[in-house]
Amino acid sequence: MSSSSSQSRHILTAPAWPYANGPRHIGHVSGFALPCDMFSRYQRMAGNQVLMVSGTDEHGTPIQVQADSEGVSPRELADRYNRVIAGDLQALGMSYDLFTRTTTRNHYAVVQEIFKGLYDNGYIFPKTTLGAISPSTGRTLPDRYIEGTCPICGYDGARGDQCDNCGNQLDPVDLINPRSRVNGEVPRFVETEHFMLDLPAFTDALGDYLRAKQGEWRPNVLKFSLNLLEDLQPRAISRDLDWGVPVPLEGWRDQPNKRLYVWFDAVVGYFSASVEWARRSGDPDAWRAWWQDPQALSYYFMGKDNIVFHSEIWPAMLLGYNGRGDKGGEPGSLGALNLPTEVVSSEFLTMEGRKFSSSRQVVIYVRDFLERYDVDALRYYIAVAGPENQDTDFTWQHFRERNNNELVAQWGNLVNRSLNMAAKEYGAIPEAGELTDADRALLERSRAAFDRVGGELGRSRFKNAVTEAFDVVREANGYLSAQEPWKTEDKTRKGTILHVALQVVDDAKTLLTPFLPKSSDKVHTMLGGEGVWAAMPEIREVDEEGGPSYPVVTGDYAVERARWEHRPIRPGTPLAKPKPLFAKLDASIVDEELARLEES
Ligand SMILES: [Zn+2]
């Protein structure tokens, strides 16, 4: 086995937290989700102890604004989209150990613990700023109820905490011509206190951390992160807001209008979800193997708009909790926590030349996609043509071509014709006779692919990895065409050719499992394999000691038989006539999908 020389390690895999304000589209999941699942499935097959955790990000102004406009509570809105998103991610085959949410009591407690650790070490300080109150009621006017003109881009509908046009974070006092969304009055600004995270105190520690990643991280991610160090500013971590995690300090805890800023609580989610997973596993300390063992590794996956939170802010928070910034300090009560090993960021996917946009309906939601097409067709497309290193454009024409020319005509065809012939002529996997040079060359090529594909997957180079695996498939098809077993009268030779082809089918099924878990599982069964080859996630309803129930995505991946290794097939294993692995897509789907885009 190629990985037998390296010992089993604890690997945390952390896909970004989708925001619970709507269903996910394929642009989203091409960045944060599918690459993380491919990486995680490979690492489990290679014998490592993987913990994959995430959940829905449910606090913040946008959810409150949307809830207000629908006349529901933010909790009701979050409940709705938490369930929708969990369903989408489960349908994609995302092998989460735990996909939870940020509105759990566990998450609140862990966020407050991180806050306290940072505060006790002096990395959080209060600052007097100007906050808005309503002149007519005298009460605090939360950020979302203030709008005005963005001082940065001039957009007229900017909100008190953020401009949706240019994406910059704002303070209500920055807005030009601020007014209340409730009654149009001009808010009065009075002095109020908020908390700031002292990011400049981590400039040196973050610099040491990031410079050590030279040659390991994708160059664009590292360059972007190092550039941010040039000008780190203290960052507000509380807001005038009533939906979020309370500030855990005397005099603050019970203030209904002060909450931690959503970004502060969301990045803690990776850790709080690990703690929740441990408690649900029956060993409340089980998270420590992934967060405190110096040999443990952690990989965070996201779209490029989220790099700053993962390469700068979350590492700064961890450094501060550990007492490792300019002001020193002691680790918090849980002990020092590991920083990210790698921040793996994808670029953006566009759709038919346009930016994905839910509001302008340039979009294909995961659910709609999977109602019409095979999940493995999407996973394959994202692996081979996704936005790994540059922005890329999804087109229905390309999707159809990849599906038909590669999945159907190469992989599906290899599986189908080799199994079909063997089932028809032998009813079982035939014995191999004496091997020719051509037989040996193909078998060696296939075995050598484990190291090559595994090496690429271990470095999150999905396009190279899936292309290498498909090269084996193409060569096996070329081998069959050259050997022409259907013309061979010699039964021993024919059996040998089919044996060699089926061995490569078995190898390729393993090599393709991280990308195509569902179809690899089918091939495993077709080849007479027993049990579960690639486990699929499921949705379970859980609660917190009698609290409201909520769905989590989880799974029992220990039942998998998949190991990252060549496994000799067993002659005599009965074979049945195979069913097609993939469906060919008719040319009409392109026009149909484009018409759907135009309609909307
Ligand atoms: Zn703006």
Q: Domain spans of the chain?
A: 10-123+202-232+259-395, 398-534+570-589
Q: Are 418 and 377 in contact (CB under 8 A)?
A: no
- The rounded distance, in Å, linking the Cα atoms of 271 and 261 is 17
Q: In terms of DSSP bridges, do strands 188-197 and 124-133 run parallel, antiparallel, or are they unpaired?
A: antiparallel
- Could you tell me the distance, in angstroms and rounded to a whole number, from the CA of residue 357 to the centre of ligand 1? 18
The rounded Å distance from CA 166 to ligand 1 centre is: 4
- What pLDDT sits at residue 1? 37
Tell how far the Cα of 80 is from the centroid of ligand 1, in angstroms: 29
316 CA to centre of ligand 1 in angstroms:
27
Say how many Å lie between the CA of residue 170 and the centre of ligand 1. 9
Pairwise CA distance, residues 43 & 297, whole Å: 11
Residue ranges, the chain, pLDDT below 70: 1-6, 600
State the distance from the centre of ligand 1 to the C-alpha of 544, rounded, in angstroms. Answer: 40
Length of the chain, please? 600
Q: Is 236 exposed, middle or buried (0-12, 13-18, 19+ CB in 10 A)?
A: middle
What is the per-residue pLDDT for 61? 83
Question: How far is Cα 433 from Cα 215, in angstroms, rounded to an integer?
Answer: 48
Residue 115 CA, ligand 1 centroid: distance in Å: 30
Burial class (CB in 10 A: 0-12, 13-18, 19+), 5: exposed
Q: Is 166 annotated as a binding residue?
A: yes
What distance in angstroms lies between residue 153's CA and the mean position of ligand 1's atoms?
A: 4
Q: How far is the CA of 169 from the centre of ligand 1 (A)?
A: 9
Q: How far is the CA of 59 from the centre of ligand 1 (A)?
A: 22
Task: Tell me the C-alpha distance between 550 and 278, whole Å.
Answer: 17
- 154 CA → ligand 1 middle, Å: 6
CB 56 within 8 A of CB 86: yes
- CA–CA distance, 89 with 454 (Å, rounded to integer): 25
Residues with C-beta atoms within 5 A of ion ligand 1: 150, 152-153, 155, 163, 165-166
pTM, full prediction: 0.94
So what's the pLDDT on residue 241? 85
User: From the CA of 548, how far away is ligand 1's center (Å)?
Assistant: 38
User: Across the strands, what pairs with 130?
Assistant: 191
pLDDT of residue 240: 85
Is 520 known to sit in a ligand binding site? no
Give the CATH class of 10-123+202-232+259-395. alpha beta
Query: What is the distance in A from the centroid of ligand 1 to the CA of 274?
Result: 36
The answer to whether 163 is a known ligand-binding residue is: yes
Q: Ligand 1 centre from 18 Cα, in Å? A: 23
Predicted local confidence at residue 3, as pLDDT: 41
CA of 343 to the centre of ligand 1 (A): 28
Is the domain defined by 398-534+570-589 classed in CATH 3.40.1190.20?
Answer: no
| C-alpha of residue 155 to centroid of ligand 1, in Å | 5
